[in-house]
Amino acid sequence: MHARTDDAWIPTVCNMCYQHCPIVVHRVNGVAVKIEGNATCPGTQGGTCPKGNAGLMKLYDPHRLKRPLKRTNSVKGLGIDPGWVEISWDEAIAILVERLRRIQATDRRKLAVGGFNPDSWTWNVAFAAAFGTPNGGAPNMFSAMGHMCGPGPHGAGQMIHGSENTHPDADYAKYIIIAGGGAMEAYQSAVAYARLFGDARQRGAKLVVVDPQQSRAAAKADEWIPIRPATDGAFLFGMMYTLVHELDRYDAEYLKRHTNAAYLIGADRYPVRDPQTGKPLIWDCVDNVAKTYDDPGIKDYALFGAYETSGGSGRPAFHIFKEHIRQYTPEWAAQISSVPAPTIRRVAREFGDAAQIGSTIAIDGVTYPYRPASVGGYRGLGAHTNGFHSCWAMEMINMLVGATRAVGGARAWNSSTIPGPDGVVTHYLAGAEYEASTAYPPDSITFHEYFPVTGTNGLIHYEGQAHPEKYNVTPIDTLIMECSNPIITGQNPAVVIEGLKKIPFFADITIYLDETAQFADLILPDTTYLEHWEIVGMPRRTMWSVEDEGIMIQRPIVEPLYDTRPSANVYIELASALGIQTGPGGLNDALNSLYGPAFDLSTPYRNAREYAETFVARCGGVDQELIWKQGHNLQRIPVPKRYLPTCLDGFRLPFYSVWLMKTGDRVRDYMEKNNAFQHTVFDEHMFFEYAPLPFWHPSVIEEEPAEFDLYAINWKSSLGTAASGTLPATNAWLMEIAERDPYATRILLNAATAKRKGLQDGTMVWVESPHGKIKGRLKVTETIHPEVIGTIGCFGHYTDHAVGRGRGPGNFNVLLGSGFRYMGPTSLQAETAARAKIYAA
């Protein structure tokens, strides 16, 4: 029996989804044998999910790519043999460098760089910036994944409090509503929220889940409220009507002092301004005179009334809001959402009571506003053509009761704030890089000139590539993409395939020969997260869950098993060969813009390890030793940075969005000045969401033919998400678990609906929409809304890399519509539900 020479537990960071949970990996004699959560992480406290536990299967998966490949068959298509031949890394890099040099010397717009590797997205963004292409400013560029998930909630969160995600402050909450978010399962760190929500429930907090299907959160909740898909916004508007018009329940002091709800608004919908200073005016209802919003002599702010000022006549923004929501009664909301009006009124009353408006709490000897009630939501709430305004309604109801950034209320993921005009916070979407260009036709295929509000444009990239004449954009010549499989994770695979075929050269940095890789010309095999170095997160924000902040470092547990290279090292090598690594505007400079000043502009760092070590040395401060010892220095964001009044640095939240309205006016001017409507397929529809207040409009799926009498939805699970790898179908261990679950790989239908349609449990069925159909085995259940067909997402693989090929339902996304009509007109959020019918196969 041989003695063990290597037996260690090594800290690193998980990459089985984008949550980045710290983990420790047991390595014995050079072999990784066990993954566990890192007990030193404040959020996860040593926990990990099924995906995290199954990471070893990703490392030792026999389907992984082992060396670079080059296409020899010029004909591209699913099921068509690309004629792969193995080549060396030297040859692969030489092919790519030669092509990039030609683009560098002619038209840098011809290159697009993107994908969504949760660990290394910063590298592709920085490389694109250093190269000088406008087609790489967002990590989801060409991945067609982000638009399926977050533009609705991310955009609304950014606009209101400068953070992409809004979370219940479960540490202090007494009443939590989750609208369309798989908390404890897939909602921004299932591991942390399973513990936090469990602790909150033990303390007596009430959890209400509003969702078409009984998610894990709904199963553990005090109350599950089934709702029609894509109607959550109507439910929230009905709640706001009840709070304001029936219960007179809102936090007037919060609205006056922490938002712009008291700013006077003129007939043109813009703030009434002081003629001398240009500052917005409010009405002091004690002195009975108009004053600038920041006048230190203000005694009280008027929220209602009509006033004449030196800058013109106006009404407080809150007065306009109150009149605006008068149309959204619970009876109106009930007809749309299927949630009974008495339920809407009861939940609104419970929510308003639980908010304890006017109360305070002492933490560490300091008194803070205490509003222990909030509404949170994510993909189910926002992933529809009306999702941006539905998520905006969620943000509004939290502000209405004073819960946003109050103790126990709605917590923002990013603790920092960006000062904006008129004393209101702003966000990165309002930054100079997102301003509409004066150039026409647009310089990029990102469509940001047409849609400056979105952070990820999804399938629009492929639409533009396939039909540049419809959008007046310049198609790309070369795409470098990593860690993405948009044929499975994008809105509709037909659109992605059409666009991929129109890209002359496609280099795919990937672990598998997945569906999208079938269209590549060059395959660069990536390492797994257990084989490379990487900087994960930034000092101010890291995990997407509970406001932990700090630095996390991925390090190799084992040396690369095959002839593979980390994507970061590929970008470093390309930058060095092209002469764009060092100096102003180079790769190092671009990385500094993302991470902060960490890297010397003149140093030609050789690999990701040198960048990681430099980053820790420059940004780790006194925690350098701690970071290397435990893999991170995460800590809870200090209380003053988390809660009002200190967390906003004296700035206000935009209860009334001047920025969004102004952006719409600017885009309209851009389109009209350039006669863009004559040169593109766009029309006036692209403007109608640019309003100062959220409003209800139905999803595009309500326009589908009546024969499609049900709604089809899918969801993430604790076994897999739509992020990198399209788990669980690519992971044998997770697939084995999924197949034992009587729900995970089935098509779910309510028992009453199944009986009405003559369908039995276990029957093979077709689900057909106006756009496509899938086949699977039926699960008859009470855990889904009677008007809904549901299943897990990201199945339906066509290639051998997926052990789940041929098992479970087909690719759900073939049911979805595509094109601008099926996207949110400001956020470009994809519609992820469909109208469908079901029948026996």
Q: Which amino acid is at 459?
A: L
DSSP state string for 129-184: HHHT-STTSSTTTTT--GGGTSHHHHHHHHHHHS-S-EEE-TTT-SEEEEES--TT
Spatial distance between the Cα atoms of 727 and 803, rounded to a whole number of angstroms:
10
Neighbours of 819 (CB within 10 A): 15
pLDDT of 435 reads 54
pLDDT of 732 reads 86
Neighbours of 670 (CB within 10 A): 18
Q: Work out the average pLDDT over 608-619.
A: 96
Most confident of 21-30, 120-129, 479-488, 541-550: 21-30
Least confident of 140-144, 160-164, 465-469, 557-561: 140-144
Given a contact cutoff of 8 angstroms between Cβ atoms, the answer to whether 144 and 491 are in contact is: yes
- 263-291 tens-digit pLDDT: 999 999 999 999 999 999 999 999 999 99
Q: Work out the average pLDDT over 86-102.
A: 98
Radius of gyration from C-alpha coordinates of the chain: 26
Given a contact cutoff of 8 angstroms between Cβ atoms, the answer to whether 369 and 402 are in contact is: yes
pLDDT band at 139 (very low <50, low <70, confident <90, very high): low
pLDDT band at 722 (very low <50, low <70, confident <90, very high): very low
pLDDT of 138 reads 67
- 348-400 tens-digit pLDDT: 999 999 999 999 999 999 999 999 999 999 889 999 999 999 999 999 999 99
pLDDT of 433 reads 47
Picking from 730, 720, 792, 726, the residue whose alpha carbon sits closest to that of residue 50 is: 720
Assess whether pLDDT exceeds 50 at residue 570. yes
Which is more confidently placed, 10 or 463?
A: 10
Spatial distance between the Cα atoms of 176 and 218, rounded to a whole number of angstroms:
12
Assess whether pLDDT exceeds 50 at residue 724. no
pLDDT of 1 reads 45
Given a contact cutoff of 8 angstroms between Cβ atoms, the answer to whether 232 and 282 are in contact is: no
Spatial distance between the Cα atoms of 315 and 340, rounded to a whole number of angstroms:
34
The H or E element that residue 715 is part of is strand 710-715
Which is more confidently placed, 736 or 815?
A: 815
pLDDT band at 544 (very low <50, low <70, confident <90, very high): low
Q: Work out the average pLDDT over 701-723.
A: 85
**Phi-psi label, residue 204: left if phi above 0, alpha if psi -120 to 50, beta otherwise:** left
* Displacement of CA 654 from its chain's centroid (Å): 21
Given a contact cutoff of 8 angstroms between Cβ atoms, the answer to whether 839 and 766 are in contact is: yes
Picking from 411, 410, 412, 415, the residue whose alpha carbon sits closest to that of residue 373 is: 410
- 407-459 tens-digit pLDDT: 999 988 766 678 889 999 987 777 654 454 678 888 888 888 888 888 777 77
Spatial distance between the Cα atoms of 517 and 511, rounded to a whole number of angstroms:
10
Residue 585 phi/psi, 5-degree rounding, is: 80, 0
Q: Is the dihedral of CA 463, 467, 469, 475 positive or negative?
A: positive
DSSP state string for 5-48: S-EEEEEEE--SSTT--EEEEEEETTEEEEEEE-TT-TTTTT--
pLDDT of 121 reads 82
Beta strands in 349-417 (DSSP E): 360-363, 366-369, 373-377, 410-412
H-helix segments, 638-764: 639-642, 658-673, 676-679, 732-740, 751-757
pLDDT band at 726 (very low <50, low <70, confident <90, very high): low
Spatial distance between the Cα atoms of 451 and 141, rounded to a whole number of angstroms:
14
What DSSP state is assigned to residue 244? I
Assess whether pLDDT exceeds 50 at residue 530. yes
Assess whether pLDDT exceeds 70 at residue 207. yes
Q: Work out the average pLDDT over 455-477.
A: 88
Assess whether pLDDT exceeds 50 at residue 723. no
Assess whether pLDDT exceeds 80 at residue 94. yes
Q: Which amino acid is at 239?
A: M
- Per-chain mean pLDDT for the chain: 91
Neighbours of 745 (CB within 10 A): 23
Take residue 510 and report the two structure tokens written for it: 């990937």
* SS3 sequence of 493-528: HHHHHHHHHCCCEEEEEECCCCCHHHHCCEEEECCC
Assess whether pLDDT exceeds 60 at residue 222. yes
Residue 720 phi/psi, 5-degree rounding, is: -165, 150
Spatial distance between the Cα atoms of 730 and 304, rounded to a whole number of angstroms:
58
Take residue 472 and report the two structure tokens written for it: 């007046």
Assess whether pLDDT exceeds 70 at residue 297. yes
Helix axes 608-619, 587-595, angle to 10 degrees: 40
